[in-house]
Amino acid sequence: MSRKISELRKEIDRLDFELLQLLDKRMEYAVCIGKEKVLAKSNIYCPKREQEILQRLKKNALKYLNHEAIDSIYREIFAFSRKLEKVEKVAFFDSASSFAYEVVAKKFGFVGKYLMMQDLASLFRAVQLGEVKYGVIPLENDSGIIKESCELLFKNEAKVIAEVILPLQYSFASNDEKIQNIKKIYLEKAIANQCRDFLKFYGFNEDKWVFVDSSVEVAKMVAKKKHTAIICSNMIARLHNIPIIFENIQDKNNQMRFVVISDFFSQKANKNKTSLLVAIKNKKRADVLLGLLEDIKKYKIGLIKIEEKEIDFFSHFYLELEGYFEDKNLQEFLRKRSKELKLLGSYPREL
Ligand code: PHB
């Protein structure tokens, strides 16, 4: 090793020592805050505070640490702080490709205490019974707001307290460096549909495809087996140490929106969003829609999204509005519509 490198490494070792001391000091403050929170019976997880810290740090442009780096480093710091303040469980439901786990790691860090649920209804039950403090659920995909999530939010008391927008990125991972050796590619049907150009370009024809229900379940096997590959989320490949040969192989960039649910209302942040459902009872849809839009205009509320959803055979409008539910204009709107409306939550706006 050159003298130069060993000198530079000494500097790094010295800085690491300082960093650890600083982080430890930071944790000490977090522990004190935790004690205060427990005394005041307030909630440990504070999406508003996390967003404020991240925004402030990102404003101080640094030479090497970009926004992505700040996000991932601070996620882990927050997660560890929270864990020291009080251990709280997070439940998630993974239908298939394990994006929910990616969201959980992005929002709560790798060191959290996680519980994977079999279905969305059990996840809501666990939150309702206090078996877990938080739940991460998918809310919106390419086709719009997800009906089952909407239905469960309507029927349960859990509140939406944060949102996470996740780009759906797939990787081609294999232990075989030579892609011509690969005989079988394990993938979900939906993923195959989203990576058609890639598969065609490399001549991975359908005779090599093996459809699976869940890439999470087969990843362990692919990690050990020769001449096989898997197409899955980057996180799954990394978790099972399957070398990623190609990244971001999807035909187009789709994204998914997840939300965090819990048993309390999120605090007001700089920019907020409010989600609610309005029942269309014994009236014409057009009349209800018109009335709603008139009220939104009258109370000067920003409209982000409106989508019709059927819940228990009854039509509803799912609405996303700008602002926090305690803002004056939103309060007036909510009061006026109180009989037909269910407030799902207000939370820091990510986009
Ligand atoms: C922290 O500053 O360590 C912190 C802030 C908010 C949280 C968790 C941790 O929700």
pLDDT digits (tens, 9 = 90+) for 190-245: 889 999 999 999 999 999 999 998 887 889 899 999 999 999 988 889 888 999 99
User: Distance (Å, rounded) from C-alpha 22 to C-alpha 78?
Assistant: 14
pLDDT over 90 (residue 129): yes
Determine the length of the chain: 351
User: Distance (Å, rounded) from C-alpha 273 to C-alpha 257?
Assistant: 14
Q: Which residue has the tokens 């007036």?
A: 332
Residue of 53, 55, 56, 107 with the most ligand 1 atoms within 8 Å of its CB, for mutation: 53
User: Distance (Å, rounded) from C-alpha 157 to C-alpha 277?
Assistant: 13
pLDDT over 70 (residue 316): yes
| Least reliable range by pLDDT among 78-82, 94-98, 194-198, 270-274 | 94-98
pLDDT over 60 (residue 96): no
Distance (angstroms) between ligand 1 centre and the Cα of 135 equals 18
What would the two tokens of residue 44 be? 């440990």
- CA-only gyration radius of the chain, Å: 23
What does the DSSP 8-state code read for residue 13? H
User: Distance (Å, rounded) from C-alpha 195 to C-alpha 89?
Assistant: 35
The pTM of the full predicted model, rounded to 2 decimals, is: 0.86
**What is the number of the ligand 1 atom nearest to the C-alpha of 44?**
10
pLDDT, one tens digit per residue, over 117-128 is 989 999 999 999
Question: Domains of the chain by range and CATH?
Answer: 3-85 (1.20.59.10), 170-252 (3.40.190.10), 266-351 (3.30.70.260)
Sign of the Cα torsion 126, 127, 131, 137 reads positive
User: Distance (Å, rounded) from C-alpha 256 to C-alpha 231?
Assistant: 18
Helix (H, G, I), strand (E, B) or coil at 161: strand
Distance (angstroms) between ligand 1 centre and the Cα of 69 equals 17
Between the alpha carbon of residue 312 and those of residues 91, 151, 215, 237, 309, the distances in Å are 26, 8, 32, 39, 10
